[in-house]
Structure 1
Amino acid sequence: MKTFAVSLALLAGASVAAPPEPRCAGAAVEQARKLLQFHLGSDDRIEIDKDAVALAPLPNPANRKQAFDVVEVWGYVYKGQYRMRFIYAQRPQHCVLMGQEILEYADL
C-alpha cells in the first residue's frame, strides 16, 4: 500500500512534456502577420498567436509521391478571428512557402 501511495505521488509531480514545435512554425507566425496585413491593411490591433499547430501533410498535386507540410496559425483584429494555414515544401534545411490560405472565423 505504501509503494502505491509513493508511486501515485511521483506520477502527480511528473511534468508532461509539451509537443515539439512544428517545423517552420517561426516562419508561419512571421508570415501570418504579413498575410493579415495584406488582407486588412495596417492595423495596430493585429495580434498573432505564437502557437503554431502542425496539421496533416497535404499531397503535392503535381507529384503524388511528394507532400507539403501544413502549419496553422490564428490571428486576431479587434473582434475578428482569422485562421491561417501555410503550406511548406518538405525541405530539411529551408522553409519554402508554397501556398497560404486565410479564413475569417465567423458564424453567419
Structure 2
Amino acid sequence: MELLLETVALYSLKLAYETEGHSPILRDDPLMGGCDREVFGLLVRRGDVAGIQSEISRCLDLALGAVGGVDTVLGRELGRLAKDFGGVETMERLGAPAIILRNYLRDVQ
C-alpha cells in the first residue's frame, strides 16, 4: 500500500512540477516532502485513513491545478476520482480508489 500511495503522490507532483527538458522528479526529490514511502508506511501501520487522505489530497490539489482545475475535462475526472478516494472510511477500501488514481495520473502524464 505504501508504494501505491507514494506513486500516486509522485505522479501528482510530476504533473504539477515536471517540465519538458528538465530533470525528472524522482522519489527522493525534495518536492516529495512528506509524501514518501516511509511516511505513508507509518500512516498505514497506524491505520490513519484521514492522514493518508490529507497527504494525497495535498498532492492531488497540485495536479488539479496543473490540468486547469475542475472546469476542464481532465480536472473534472481527477476531481471525481479524488472525491472517491477522500470518501473512503477504512484502510481496507483505500486500495481500489488509489489504484484508479495512480492509473489515471500515469495516463495523463
* Normalised-by-shorter TM-score class: 0.3 to 0.5
Where relative contact order (Cα < 8 A, 6+ residues apart) is larger, the structure is 2
Q: Which has the larger radius of gyration?
A: 1
TM-score (norm 1): 0.34
Q: Which has the higher helix share?
A: 2
